[in-house]
A and B are shown apart, each in its own frame.
Chain A
Amino acid sequence: MTTTTQTTCPYCGVGCGVTATREADDRLLIAGDAQHPANKGRLCSKGTALADTVDLGGRLLYPMIEGVRADWDAALDRVAGGLADTIAEHGPDAVAFYVSGQLLTEDYYIANKLMKGYIGSANIDTNSRLCMSSAVAGHVRAFGEDLVPGCYDDLEIADLVVLVGSNTAWCHPVVYQRVMAAREADPHKKLVVIDPRRTATADSADLHLPLAPGTDVALFNGLLAYLADHGVTTDLPGGADAIAAAGQGGDMASVADAAGVPIADLQTFFEWFAATERTVTVFSQGVNQSSAGTDKVNAIINCHLLTERIGKPGACPFSITGQPNAMGGREVGGLSSTLAAHMGFDRADTVQRFWDSPAIARQPGLKALELFEAIEAGQVKAVWIMATNPLVSLPEADRARAALERCPLVIVSDVMRHTDTAERADVLLPAAAWAEKTGTVTNSERMISRQRPFLPRPGQARADWDIMCDVAQRMGFAEGFVYAGPAAIFREHAALTAFDNDGERILNLAGLATLSDTDYDTLQPTRWPVPLPQPRRAAGAMPAPAGVDQLFVDGTYPTADGRAHLVAVSPRGPANACSGDYPLALNTGRIRDHWHTMTRTAKSQPLATHIPEPFVAIHPADAWRYGIVDGELATVTTAWGQASLRVITSQRQRQGCLFAPMHWNDQFASSACIGSAVNPAVCPISGEPEFKHTPATIAPFAAAWHGVIYAARTLRLRATTGIDWWVKVPGERFVRYEIAGCDPSADLKTATRRWLGVAARDVDWLDAADPAVGTYRAAHVEAGHLEAAVFIAATPARLPDRSWLAGLYSGQAMTEAERVAVLAGRPADASADTGPQVCACFGVGRRTIRRAIENNRLDSVGAVGEVLQAGTNCGSCKPEIAELLAEAEKA
């Protein structure tokens, strides 16, 4: 029987609706949900490949204690007991939760309630701290509450879309597609991209401003000053100060100079912005991930407030988030800097009254980086990490690793058995995965959507909220953690948003607080606020509630004075400036087809193929200066750490800037965790780390040889000597390893057998060697199937094309032609197929002769010999050639 489930995509903050159809034969078809307002049927490459990612390979299926399988009772007792003992001995602030924008709202709510209302600490922070806490802080400073004013429709209505610090084409592809579609429909619409890199997004822009890293405030202050100079005025609080501060930036030439962009382009941007009422400025991690992140956010918002381009269709500043439920986390208050439901610690009594809880956190807890510093300092002695992999994603990741090693109790809830973080867990708890979970998420446009399960929970996996409730009960908090299911949790969350809320908080889900379980199950995407109960139908699904597309339409804001605030901001450079030793600016970010730490995307061969390896992108001039060669390896070193990566030289990079993707980690590479090299500087207001700017230097990785291994099964290269650098690229029915070694005298033939674990001499083994140039190629065949193939050469350019070899793992035995070709790494030229040999002396085949007879109208054996040499040596094939001539004549 075919069943179709409407759910939402687990990747970025666009929050696309997805339909998952299970065919009778268990095949899974994933499609964009045409009814979902976020994507209207569209999906990006990652979403499209979701069916590849739901298998159980690598899943954590049962609890583990100290690396040994345990039952739930033992594991939860250990967690509850460990937390309770730590609290009893060292106080509530000695425990912490580090959670994730990939938890569902219901999970998030339980985590927040347990920590802040029952344990009584605010030491719950989330990986959202790493991506949008500057936007949260900027929103609060300007609007009084963390509010995204607009919705995706505004991007289509707008006549000018400005994308700042956002490679939207790759990181929020469906939003990008919507912008592109709108431009196609109306060519007068303009797109400006402000990004130090000329990204794929910038390619389609009408104007790309490749600003110098960290100069966003200078640029938007310049815009603010320009607008003010051109007569735009405001009486909003902070307006005069903000304009005055912006004026410090000097004239347009000074601004252009500060931002490192051509003055003519800057002027164009200013003119377009000034002239276009319907302007949306989208900003993302390029703005947020900065030691001046919050000021950058406000510099952008200031321009919209000054021009009153907010609260109107097609006009607003627009933060788009990186994770599927970063917004839901912000709503429940799952950041250490807020309490709950958009209430601060000043409302502790209110929240405690609602929760009827034994305790309440009364001041902010530790933000992500502070949290790991506290673990390092021994102040936090027990940490529970859920649905995230901080040892890859945090700045100065190696330090976080060391800190976690020292932490007396590390609890990790995850869906995967092996992650860099899970490997350091004392207790590992198997969480249900995307396809198995039920709950809600909120996307970047305040749209609450249901995530619905379509696969059974495997093994002993449980929902995160369920695990936490069980722990809470074992800690003696039974009264607050008995829920019939996620619907009940959602109702409580919705009720809290409405609790004591007479309009001072715009986040109000009163209208959803009374949903029945059925209503909840059938809930259609709903944009908050939903202050009033929704009209009901007699039966069936609730209609999609009429959400509020634009906030602040009436010009009132949830601030003390009811007005929006401009914030006077001044440009300041990155916390750590580039210097003689570290003259380059390292920027990190996402690539199109990977997600976070690759636990999911690496399961899909199409996704793993787009950019198969961790890389560092560098401008060709810089590459030349540092002796770096495109396609080879280089080590990026900062004062905090290093990573060794494949080099891509590209004019898309600004000179002086490096870019490296954030995804790769110890599960997939030997030394590619770029987080290790990122400086731990944070924005003093938001606590968001400065991922986009770390002073760095780069040097060639001294590889004596490079190689690639294809293997039918996973190899344990980590335990293998002689390989100094490796990357694992998962494929369909095989695993590919890109490798390199530094020992020029390595006996590659022997080493290859060792890597592949082939000890016996009588195995079916092919090899090709050219030792003078350091080339060695070998293949191991078993029962006709390619078991492994290894290619080693002095330079990466001498290694074969990767795509053809991947096709040899078809599940079938190799054909003769494939076996002949396997070490060549490419198929033979089909047109070079000469057919069965006729002239052995000159290697001339039947097909070649036929072609020559036909093409050259040959009429004698001698003529064939003149053209092809066939028959001109020993002459024994002349009768056969004569036969072919006769055949041709007949034909």
Chain B
Amino acid sequence: MHDNHHPRLDLVVIGNGMAGLRVIEDLLELAPERYNITVFGAEPHASYNRIMLSPVLAGDTAFADIQTRDRAWYDANGITLHTGEAVTTIDRKRRMVVSAQGREVGYDRLVLATGSRPFILPVPGHDRPGVISFRDIADVDAMVKASQNGGRAAVIGGGLLGLEAAYGLHKRGMDVTIVHLTNQLMERQLDPTAAALLQQSLAQRGLSFRLGAETAAIVGSSADDDNGPVNGLCFKDADGSTLAADLVVMAVGIRPNIDLAKASGLHCNKGIVVNDTMQTYDPRIYAVGECVEHRKAVYGLVAPLWDQARVCAHHLAWRGHAHYDGSVTATQLKVTGIDMYSAGDFTEDEATQTLTYADIRRGVYKRIVLRAGRIAGVVLYGETRDGPWYFRHMQAATDVSAFRDLLLFGQAFVEAGTNDTADEDKAEAA
């Protein structure tokens, strides 16, 4: 429906990743006629589902299967798409963006969806050939290529991404060791018991571990060649132990990609600071996704991104008062045969109460942390079917007291338990 009183405005979206694309998709639904849309994507592809990169690496999925919108879709919706073209400058006075290729496009509204970039440990040798991160399809291609001759891989970082990378490389025939700073895998998502179960399960699949190990340097095959290909890691421990590796994957975290915003004079902290309608300090400029800092929180998962995109699209569509309150996040490990689910905050203090379930023989472990009778965090290992159900109750801040005794057993039990009848025999007895 065209609004005659308001001629079309120009909307530029910087970043053709999942966040930027979702804003456009939502906006097309809400106000298809409002904007002339131009999209800049630094990557050469139209768009793809980044969170499915791990299955692509593992060979469980083909890249073609994770591509989301092809160029024809952009054309059909009248969107101008510039791929492989990074924006280098935002001229806020002229309301104009300038690309690396020198293209200038004016905007009435601008959306920054620049995402994040992997954090690279600033250790000696971090820029040797054979040291890569795990962020985009190019990284996946590099890893696939590196694995073609087998060999040894070291994955630095025992978090979600590192484990998925390690598993993928292992599946592609490499001898993989996971190097992790603390003594526990995924310590932000798992408690020690679940982490131990996970490690045991990965070990059974053939992965090796070097926990409590801080990388001192990435070394090459000859000591005198500072730029030669990687040959191993050297650790910061008493005896300076080493680990041989032909490939090193850095998966030690991400950093919001804020260079462009900063250069444009937008207020940034860890990320581009936005308000509850996803606007930066320049109200014509919005930001969504991993580049954003909202209420001091920076997210690296997909669910908050959807929430943010929806709010942003609403605001761009002049649709009233949708606002973003922040997200509770949940994670799952995409490793075939390993069911792991983690959501919320499960650090314990005086105000928390913890419920645990363990059936070690069956490889099942659950931990639910309650705060004021509501689910604050949940860790599931081996049986994750109820993860989203717990997550919904966590988001809804449901008082779980009424079904607390069955909470560990999940939805099918709690909902089976809603029509209890009194013990009539007993009543009759007296």
- A residues neighboring B (CB under 8 Å): 197, 200, 591, 610-611, 615, 617-618, 631, 648-650, 652-653, 659, 764-773, 775, 781, 793, 798, 801, 819-821, 823-824, 826-830, 832-834, 837, 840-845, 869, 872-876, 879
CB 8 Å contact bits of B43-60 with A (1 = contact, 0 = none): 000000101100100000
Interface assignment of B142: CB less than 8 Å from any CB of chain A: no
Q: How many chain B residues have a CB neighbour from A under 8 Å?
A: 50
B430 touches A653 (CB 8 A): yes
User: How far apart sit A766 and B413, CA to CA, in the bound complex (Å)?
Assistant: 17
Pick from A771, A801, A819, A840: contact of B362, CB below 8 A.
A819
Binds A, one of B1-9, B114-122, B352-360: B352-360
A–B Cβ pairs within 8 angstroms, 19 of them = A611-B425, A617-B429, A618-B430, A631-B426, A648-B430, A768-B408, A771-B354, A821-B409, A824-B406, A827-B416, A832-B411, A832-B412, A842-B388, A843-B387, A874-B51, A874-B52, A875-B49, A876-B52, A876-B66
Residue of chain B at shortest CB distance from A837: B385
User: How far apart sit A819 and B359, CA to CA, in the bound complex (Å)?
Assistant: 9
A610 touches B49 (CB 8 A): no
In the complex, how many angstroms separate the beta carbon of A90 from the nearest chain B beta carbon? 47
B416 touches A829 (CB 8 A): yes
B412 touches A829 (CB 8 A): yes
Contacts A823-B409, A826-B416 supplied; 20 other A-B pairs, CB < 8 Å: A615-B430, A648-B427, A650-B427, A765-B360, A771-B353, A771-B354, A773-B404, A775-B405, A798-B405, A801-B420, A826-B417, A827-B416, A828-B410, A828-B413, A834-B385, A834-B412, A837-B385, A843-B411, A872-B306, A876-B66
Q: Which residues of B contact A828 (CB under 8 A)?
A: 409-410, 412-413, 416
Residue of chain A at shortest CB distance from B417: A826
User: How far apart sit A804 and B371, CA to CA, in the bound complex (Å)?
Assistant: 32
Residue of chain A at shortest CB distance from B52: A876
Residue of chain A at shortest CB distance from B388: A843
Assess A650 versus B430: contact at CB under 8 Å? Given A768-B355, A824-B406. Answer: yes
In the complex, how many angstroms separate the beta carbon of B193 from the nearest chain A beta carbon? 12
CB 8 Å contact bits of B342-372 with A (1 = contact, 0 = none): 0000000000011111111110000000100
Interface hits, B371-430 → A, CB 8 Å = 383-389, 404-406, 408-413, 415-417, 420, 425-430
Q: Which residues of B contact A820 (CB under 8 A)?
A: 383, 409
Q: Which residues of A contact B68 (CB under 8 A)?
A: 875
User: How far apart sit A884 and B273, CA to CA, in the bound complex (Å)?
Assistant: 42
Assess A770 versus B355: contact at CB under 8 Å? Given A652-B430, A826-B417. Answer: yes
Pick from A611, A874, A879: contact of B429, CB below 8 A.
A611
Interface assignment of B332: CB less than 8 Å from any CB of chain A: yes
In the complex, how many angstroms separate the beta carbon of A136 from the nearest chain B beta carbon? 31
B384 touches A768 (CB 8 A): no
Q: Which residues of B contact A801 (CB under 8 A)?
A: 420
B405 touches A843 (CB 8 A): no
User: How far apart sit A865 and B427, CA to CA, in the bound complex (Å)?
Assistant: 48
Residue of chain A at shortest CB distance from B405: A798
Residue of chain A at shortest CB distance from B425: A610
Q: Which residues of A contact B420 (CB under 8 A)?
A: 801
User: How far apart sit A823 and B356, CA to CA, in the bound complex (Å)?
Assistant: 12
In the complex, how many angstroms separate the beta carbon of A871 from the nearest chain B beta carbon? 12
User: How far apart sit A123 and B23, CA to CA, in the bound complex (Å)?
Assistant: 100
A876 touches B412 (CB 8 A): no
B357 touches A767 (CB 8 A): yes
B306 touches A829 (CB 8 A): no
User: How far apart sit A200 and B387, CA to CA, in the bound complex (Å)?
Assistant: 49
Q: Which residues of A contact B425 (CB under 8 A)?
A: 610-611
Query: Closest 9 A-B residue pairs measured CB to CB?
Result: A829-B416, A650-B430, A617-B430, A828-B412, A772-B353, A843-B388, A832-B412, A824-B409, A766-B359
User: How far apart sit A615 and B426, CA to CA, in the bound complex (Å)?
Assistant: 9
A833 touches B52 (CB 8 A): no
Residue of chain B at shortest CB distance from A822: B359
User: How far apart sit A770 and B385, CA to CA, in the bound complex (Å)?
Assistant: 21
User: How far apart sit A768 and B359, CA to CA, in the bound complex (Å)?
Assistant: 9
Residue of chain B at shortest CB distance from A651: B430
User: How far apart sit A824 and B409, CA to CA, in the bound complex (Å)?
Assistant: 6
User: How far apart sit A830 and B428, CA to CA, in the bound complex (Å)?
Assistant: 30
- Of A618, A766, A845, chain B has the most CB atoms within 10 Å of the CB of A766
User: How far apart sit A602 and B52, CA to CA, in the bound complex (Å)?
Assistant: 62
User: How far apart sit A832 and B332, CA to CA, in the bound complex (Å)?
Assistant: 22
Q: Which residues of A contact B357 (CB under 8 A)?
A: 766-769, 823
Assess A615 versus B429: contact at CB under 8 Å? Given A772-B353, A832-B416. Answer: yes
Q: Which residues of A contact B362 (CB under 8 A)?
A: 766, 819
User: How far apart sit A829 and B420, CA to CA, in the bound complex (Å)?
Assistant: 12
Q: Which residues of A contact B429 (CB under 8 A)?
A: 591, 611, 615, 617, 648, 650
Interface assignment of B303: CB less than 8 Å from any CB of chain A: yes
Q: Which residues of B contact A879 (CB under 8 A)?
A: 65
Interface hits, B228-280 → A, CB 8 Å = none
In the complex, how many angstroms separate the beta carbon of A632 from the nearest chain B beta carbon? 13
User: How far apart sit A872 and B409, CA to CA, in the bound complex (Å)?
Assistant: 25
Interface assignment of B137: CB less than 8 Å from any CB of chain A: no
In the complex, how many angstroms separate the beta carbon of A247 from the nearest chain B beta carbon? 37
Q: Which residues of A contact B426 (CB under 8 A)?
A: 611, 615, 631, 648
A821 touches B303 (CB 8 A): no
Interface assignment of B302: CB less than 8 Å from any CB of chain A: yes
Q: Which residues of B contact A767 (CB under 8 A)?
A: 356-358
Q: Which residues of A contact B353 (CB under 8 A)?
A: 770-773
B303 touches A873 (CB 8 A): yes
B415 touches A781 (CB 8 A): no
Q: Which residues of B contact A821 (CB under 8 A)?
A: 409, 413
- Of A820, A830, A834, chain B has the most CB atoms within 10 Å of the CB of A820
A766 touches B358 (CB 8 A): yes
Pick from A618, A631, A771, A841: contact of B332, CB below 8 A.
A841
B302 touches A829 (CB 8 A): no
Pick from A770, A837, A843: contact of B404, CB below 8 A.
A770
A770 touches B413 (CB 8 A): no
Q: Which residues of B contact A611 (CB under 8 A)?
A: 425-426, 429
User: How far apart sit A872 and B302, CA to CA, in the bound complex (Å)?
Assistant: 10
Q: Which residues of A contact B385 (CB under 8 A)?
A: 834, 837, 843, 845
Interface hits, B16-47 → A, CB 8 Å = none
CB 8 Å contact bits of B320-350 with A (1 = contact, 0 = none): 0000000000101000000000000000000
Q: Which residues of B contact A843 (CB under 8 A)?
A: 384-389, 411
- Of B360, B416, B425, chain A has the most CB atoms within 10 Å of the CB of B416
Assess A764 versus B355: contact at CB under 8 Å? Given A659-B430, A824-B406, A841-B332. Answer: no
Residue of chain A at shortest CB distance from B383: A820
Residue of chain B at shortest CB distance from A817: B412
B412 touches A833 (CB 8 A): yes
Residue of chain B at shortest CB distance from A764: B361
Residue of chain B at shortest CB distance from A773: B404
User: How far apart sit A591 and B411, CA to CA, in the bound complex (Å)?
Assistant: 40
User: How far apart sit A876 and B48, CA to CA, in the bound complex (Å)?
Assistant: 12
A829 touches B413 (CB 8 A): yes
Q: Which residues of A contact B52 (CB under 8 A)?
A: 874, 876
In the complex, how many angstroms separate the beta carbon of B397 from the nearest chain A beta carbon? 18
A840 touches B428 (CB 8 A): no
B49 touches A876 (CB 8 A): yes
Q: Which residues of B contact A837 (CB under 8 A)?
A: 385
Q: Which residues of B contact A823 (CB under 8 A)?
A: 357, 408-409
In the complex, how many angstroms separate the beta carbon of A659 from the nearest chain B beta carbon? 7
In the complex, how many angstroms separate the beta carbon of B313 from the nearest chain A beta carbon? 15
Residue of chain B at shortest CB distance from A824: B409
Q: Which residues of A contact B49 (CB under 8 A)?
A: 874-876
Q: Which residues of A contact B388 (CB under 8 A)?
A: 841-844, 869
In the complex, how many angstroms separate the beta carbon of B301 from the nearest chain A beta carbon? 10
Q: Which residues of B contact A819 (CB under 8 A)?
A: 359, 362
Residue of chain A at shortest CB distance from B330: A841
In the complex, how many angstroms separate the beta carbon of A821 from the nearest chain B beta carbon? 7
User: How far apart sit A479 and B230, CA to CA, in the bound complex (Å)?
Assistant: 111
In the complex, how many angstroms separate the beta carbon of A692 from the nearest chain B beta carbon? 16
User: How far apart sit A842 and B416, CA to CA, in the bound complex (Å)?
Assistant: 20
In the complex, how many angstroms separate the beta carbon of B140 from the nearest chain A beta carbon? 16
